Structure 1
Amino acid sequence: MAATSGEYIKSQFPTIDDELYQYVEGILSSSADDFEDGTELYDAIGEVLHEAASDKSEVEIRNICERLLGILKPNKSDLLNHGPTKVLNAPVHLASMAANLEDNVQDIKSIWMMTRDAGLKVDAKKLEKAEAKLQQKQEKRSLDMQMNRNQATTGPRLETATASQVTSKKETKLEDKGNNRTQDIRIENFDVAYGNRVLLQAADLTLAFGRRYGLVGRNGLGKTTLLRMISSGQLRIPSHISVLHVEQEVVGDDTTALQSVLQCDTVRERLIAKEKEISTKLNNGCTEPELTQELTDVYTQLQNIEADKAPARASIILNGLGFSTEMQQRCTKEFSGGWRMRLALARALFSRPDLLLLDEPTNMLDIKAIIWLENYLQNWPTTLLVVSHDRHFLDTVPTDILHLHSQRIEAYRGNYENFEKTKTEKLRNQQREFEAQQQHRAHVQEFIDRFRYNANRASSVQSKIKMLEKLPELKPIEKEIEVVLKFPDAEPLSPPILQINEVSFGYTSEMPIFTDVNLGATLDSRICIVGDNGAGKTTLLKIIMGMLTPTKGMRHVHRNLKFGYFSQHHVDQLEMNVSSVELLQSSYPGKPIEEYRRQLGSFGITGDMALQTVGSLSGGQKSRVAFSRMCMGNPNFLVLDEPTNHLDIETIEALGKAINKFTGGVILVSHDERLIRMVCKELWVCGGGKVKSIEGGFDEYRKIVERELEAQLK
């Protein structure tokens, strides 16, 4: 029976995938008795059959399901359609039968009335099962309607990411038996999608143990999603490999920062707890000889893992990430979100998992901490996979670069600088090869067209045609679209533009953040402000824009000066359940839709992307939306606070070029060395309650920071 249904499926779906076919066959063979009608069979396999043949309509698929039910239950199908048949033994004379009606009632009934087969009587259990199924469907329908109503009131639902992969039978067997001990990670032939958008297709990823990989690619291609797929287990790796993804900040409670890091070493924590428990029993007079031996074993294990050195190692990591000795003893609940993210990074570095996943780790760090992290990760003992936009970081830390593009991942040996050179040369060679083949094809085709109808050249023409058919088809190089950002033209103003004289500020009179600050700016200014986290950089920006009033000193600004402010929290403050166009519309109402789209387009938010919900965009794309909204007011002076946090390398380059072309003034707070070097004409350093200019620019500042770091770690 199953073979007959299988033949019918193959005849209706000749191109059906083997896996889909096996799935359908399995349902038909194992659950045939459960299907009461074709609708139930359609509910079970209809969606799969639609996938096997997208050209067939729903009506056609339903008819196929009815036919399949007829193949699986031929007797039932006949009974339902025709009823049991009655064969007459001889001709019947109806007139004589009617004359003797009373005597021949049973014979007449045998002709005109079908006898009810016992199998067609209502089965109470089946009726109960059918009613339960019907109720379940009605409940599901009402739940779907409720969800749709909720979605209508709360806005569009955000898409989620999904992943699938093909695993080898050999590795699956090793995994099942617990014999897989490899430290290398191979994820082969996998797909990752975000809603209906495919991010990776038939991609391969190999991570060799002990190597450090930098994952690069344009915003929105799926770098962060890939890390989440690995850490959540949606992309499977050997179960014995420990994975840690630094994504969530540490929860604030009464635990000290140092203790929060030490708690990551669960083996050490368990042994210390055991040692305390045994010691308490012994101190209370317990004389069991086993306890003394057990305590000795615990001390031996603590010594083997060098438990006594753990607090010092944790303190070094915290110190490198900017936690002073006093801060390490503070409760985690006293720290801001940025510092808790640093704490999460410290816990990860202390834990030393087999695979450490870092997503933009430099976003939360000042330049001093970035330099420390670069040095620390160069000696990382296990496997590292890091997403970063920091060019200097990518040149310093990775041993390999993984380039995500065109729904696949390409591996390159060396740091980012080496990757750029290799990729450029590779694309150049591929383009040369393509152009050479195109010329060769054109030359051969010209010969074919010229002598196609020449009988003397017939054999040559045929051989040329065959040669063309055998040539491998090379495709032209797909160049990534260049990122271009464009700030609006600024209204010219006559000086003076902006002046801060002898300004001091503190949230309390006892604790001034800085004193006696003097700062002047024009529409030609490109001022970069650097300094440790907490030194007052953002506070200084707010005083410049008039959002905070100085406790002492004066601020003078031109009456027509219009600030455009990009804060480091702008991306988090965007409304997530509306589209980018709707976001600009709510901030600047009354303009034509084309103007909003033109504004978004000048920052790379084009086409359907402008109509997606903001929450479904990548971090870098959200930053571009924030830039678009900032520029709708046509500012003539830009104040940018950490604008690179979510941008990819290409967009940071484009931002630097856009700043240089902008006809207004710019004050920038950033830790991105590449951007500072591109735009900075004047470097101001915040620290020690002062803001001072540095001669020699960023090179001099980096030397100062490295000297301070060496002194701090001694």
Structure 2
Amino acid sequence: MTSRPAGGGNMATYVEIIRHEFPDIDSELFQYVTGVLDSSAADFESVDEIFEAIGDVLQEVSVSKNKDDVREICQKMFNTLKLNTSNSSKSNVLLKAPIQLSQMTGHADHKTEDVKGIWMMRRDLGTTVDAKKLEKAEARLKAKQEKRTEKNSQKTANPLILEEASASQASNKKESRLEASGKNKSYDIKIENFDVSYGERGDGSESSKLTEIYSKLEEIEADKAPARASVILAGLGFSSKMQQQMTREFSGGWRMRLALARALFAKPDLLLLDEPTNMLDVRAILWLENYLQTWQSTILVVSHDRNFLNAVATDIVHLHSQRLETYRGDYENFVKTKEERLKNQQREYEAQQQYREHIQVFIDRFRYNANRASQVQSKLKLLEKLPELKPLEKELEVTIRFPDNFEKLSPPILQLTEVDFSYSPEHRIFVNLSVSADQDSRICIVGENGAGKTTLLKILLGDLTPVQGIRHAHRNLKIGYFSQHHVDQLEMNVSSVELLASKFPGRPEEEYRHQLGGYGISGDLAVRPVASLSGGQKSRVAFAQMTMAQPNFYILDEPTNHLDMETIEALGNALQKFKGGVILVSHDERLIRMVCKELWVCGCGTVKRVDGGFDEYKDILQEQFRKEGFL
């Protein structure tokens, strides 16, 4: 291969520069590098582009030159190429007329020079340079040429029919010689500056924009978006009618679900969920568990729902004592592993304490014995080298107790007989409803949001009057009610002690403190404004207020919403020991399984008892998901 004439005096050509800077370059690699520079001289717009094309290859040739040295050499060659390009009449050869590809296939004797846009390039299998770097250099050059081609693309004359292809390419001299000599063993067919278009010819700006838009839509699977959104919304409880409503028409709880649906629909690389089950019913939680089990990217979730974590989590990060500890597995595995780890740490601490005491006894015994002075010094140094183990910090144990100093009431103590209820003639909630409960009852009411669970509780409480039918309550029945909005209804500007004093006046302050202490609100917490307490602490204050009247029957509406896992466990244990009746509305599977013997499914204007308990209800929901195509 010959170099291009250098213009402008005695400036060295790029061939001379390569020969001078890389005297040990082999002939095949030399031909490749000069071929790249020769065929693409007019395309290089900066030294960076030359460096990207051949820099890695040249750096392999000489161990004495670093990256900056090679870049400086590329700068010299770029200066030479720019000067040569401006003074030389040589340029890329364009075809005089479009080539009909269909006509080319029958002529096997076409030479490479006849069709400048199509040629064959051999991969040099014998070079000592890293083949991967060589391929990367070729790929970068090809990408640059394709990008430039895209800007100058032309459209075919006839729409919807692929007839013509225009091509222009400066021939690669090295590859032509290798082809003629028969040395090529492996070929890549390359087509550069090759334009294909459909439709009428235009200026290329607006077809180009539409192509980009359609490409983006295809990338995000826009055609599937409505169906995917509908599946997510339906899974979270939105009916077909609700899916067409404006966002502003929904309550706060439903808007929380919308926010969750939006996060799921976006398919983020990292999905952050903060108590996602708080505003969901059991059906929606079960759907979410199934949906997240097939999630392809990372999920970081904060939740107090033990069963939800068992279904979704693969790792647990435990925050305590101002540090984080990680555990592999679900929540149940975390509990077991943590307990075992704590036992081991306690054993290690106790063993070290005994060892320290043993050494200290020796030191104290022979401290003033001259014959044992060296041994005493050795023991002292040993003590100093022992790692200092700290005693385990015991986590605050939460205890909840529901007083049960009351007489046994004869059943039925709470009953609804053939009750109809509606908020308006068009909005009927219950029809011919009959249910009953006594002091041995442990009932959980489940159902989708809007099915009437809270309405049923208010009818049982006597806060709502049936349109038809009878509510019967024992004359000595004393109900303690915890509403799902109980925390928000607390007086926020007073302390917890002052709150109880206003609700139950005339008692000593010590009694109020004792009552609050039973729910973990002790010391400074008891005299701080309620507004400054966390959500869980406010819930504990609400429990303390509810139980101070010592009711013999509890109706609890979503009591776990603001509670941590330890408090939920304490609540479940307390309800197990309570000797009165309990009716509970909850979405927390763990609490339901701990407390409830009976399950009422609310919906379709009535309440149905599920004899198989929560397991049967879960199976019913799973079957619904399969029929609806969610599984």
Tell whether the structures are fold-level matches, with TM greater than 0.5. Answer: yes
1:429: how far off? 0.8
Equivalent residue, structure 2, for 1:426:
341
Tell me: higher relative CO, structure 1 or 2? Use CA pairs within 8 A at least 6 residues apart.
1
Equivalent residue, structure 1, for 2:268:
353
Equivalent pair of 1:528/1:682 in contact (CA under 8 Å): yes
Equivalent pair of 2:497/2:512 in contact (CA under 8 Å): yes
Q: Deviations over 1:101-130 (max 9, x none)?
A: xxxxxxxxxxxxxxxxxxxxxxxxxxxxxx
Equivalent residue, structure 1, for 2:503:
587
Equivalent residue, structure 2, for 1:661:
577
Equivalent pair of 2:409/2:439 in contact (CA under 8 Å): no
TM-score, normalisation: structure 2: 0.65
Cα distance in 1 for partners of 2:461, 2:347 equals 53
Equivalent pair of 1:564/1:630 in contact (CA under 8 Å): yes
Equivalent residue, structure 2, for 1:386:
301
**Residue 440 (structure 2) pairs with residue 524 (structure 1):** yes
Equivalent residue, structure 1, for 2:52:
none
Amino acid of the structure 2 residue aligned with 1:632: M
Give the match's secondary structure for 2:428.
Answer: coil
The structure 2 residue matched to 1:547, chosen from 443, 463, 483, is 463
Question: Structure 1: 5+ residue runs without aligned partners?
Answer: 1-286
Q: 1:296 to 1:451 in 2, by over 3 A?
A: closer
Q: Deviations over 1:575-596 (max 9, x none)?
A: 3232222222233333322222
Equivalent pair of 1:682/1:693 in contact (CA under 8 Å): yes
Task: Map residues 696-707 of structure 1 onto 2, 5 A cutoff.
Answer: 696-707=612-623
**Residue 298 (structure 2) pairs with residue 367 (structure 1):** no
Amino acid of the structure 1 residue aligned with 2:481: Y
Amino acid of the structure 2 residue aligned with 1:589: P
Equivalent residue, structure 1, for 2:114:
none
The structure 2 residue matched to 1:691, chosen from 607, 615, 628, is 607
Cα distance in 1 for partners of 2:569, 2:472 equals 33
Q: Deviations over 1:245-297 (max 9, x none)?
A: xxxxxxxxxxxxxxxxxxxxxxxxxxxxxxxxxxxxxxxxxx98633442333
1:600: how far off? 1.0
**Residue 265 (structure 2) pairs with residue 339 (structure 1):** no
Cα distance in 1 for partners of 2:203, 2:242 equals 43
Equivalent pair of 1:490/1:664 in contact (CA under 8 Å): no
**4+ runs of 1 displaced by more than 4 Å?**
none
Q: 1:577 to 1:354 in 2, by over 3 A?
A: farther
More displaced 10-residue stretch of structure 1: 486-495 or 547-556: 486-495
1:526: how far off? 1.1
Cα distance in 2 for partners of 1:458, 1:336 equals 80
1:653: how far off? 0.7
1:651: how far off? 0.6
Equivalent pair of 1:451/1:461 in contact (CA under 8 Å): yes
Task: Map residues 79-228 of structure 1 onto 2, 5 A cutoff.
Answer: none
1:573: how far off? 2.0
1:367: how far off? 1.0
Question: Structure 2: 5+ residue runs without aligned partners?
Answer: 1-201
The structure 2 residue matched to 1:567, chosen from 483, 498, 501, is 483
The structure 2 residue matched to 1:505, chosen from 415, 421, 427, is 421
Cα distance in 2 for partners of 1:681, 1:305 equals 48
Task: Map residues 45-56 of structure 1 onto 2, 5 A cutoff.
Answer: none
**Residue 314 (structure 2) pairs with residue 399 (structure 1):** yes
**Residue 537 (structure 2) pairs with residue 602 (structure 1):** no
Equivalent residue, structure 2, for 1:647:
563
Cα distance in 2 for partners of 1:713, 1:326 equals 19
Amino acid of the structure 2 residue aligned with 1:418: N
**Residue 447 (structure 2) pairs with residue 534 (structure 1):** no
The structure 2 residue matched to 1:480, chosen from 379, 395, 398, is 395
1:469: how far off? 1.9
Cα distance in 2 for partners of 1:319, 1:682 equals 28
Cα distance in 2 for partners of 1:289, 1:477 equals 72
Amino acid of the structure 2 residue aligned with 1:681: K
TM-score, normalisation: structure 1: 0.58
Amino acid of the structure 2 residue aligned with 1:526: R
Equivalent residue, structure 2, for 1:677:
593
Amino acid of the structure 1 residue aligned with 2:507: K
Give the match's secondary structure for 2:277.
Answer: helix
Cα distance in 2 for partners of 1:332, 1:461 equals 79
**Residue 328 (structure 2) pairs with residue 417 (structure 1):** no
Amino acid of the structure 2 residue aligned with 1:591: R
1:364: how far off? 0.8
1:490: how far off? 4.2
Equivalent pair of 2:600/2:610 in contact (CA under 8 Å): yes
Q: Deviations over 1:24-69 (max 9, x none)?
A: xxxxxxxxxxxxxxxxxxxxxxxxxxxxxxxxxxxxxxxxxxxxxx
Amino acid of the structure 2 residue aligned with 1:370: I
1:299: how far off? 2.2
More displaced 10-residue stretch of structure 1: 287-296 or 668-677: 287-296
More displaced 10-residue stretch of structure 1: 455-464 or 655-664: 455-464
Cα distance in 2 for partners of 1:640, 1:413 equals 35
Give the match's secondary structure for 1:621.
Answer: helix
Cα distance in 1 for partners of 2:252, 2:572 equals 28
Return the index of the structure with the highest Cα Rg.
2
Cα distance in 2 for partners of 1:667, 1:704 equals 22
Give the match's secondary structure for 1:507.
Answer: strand
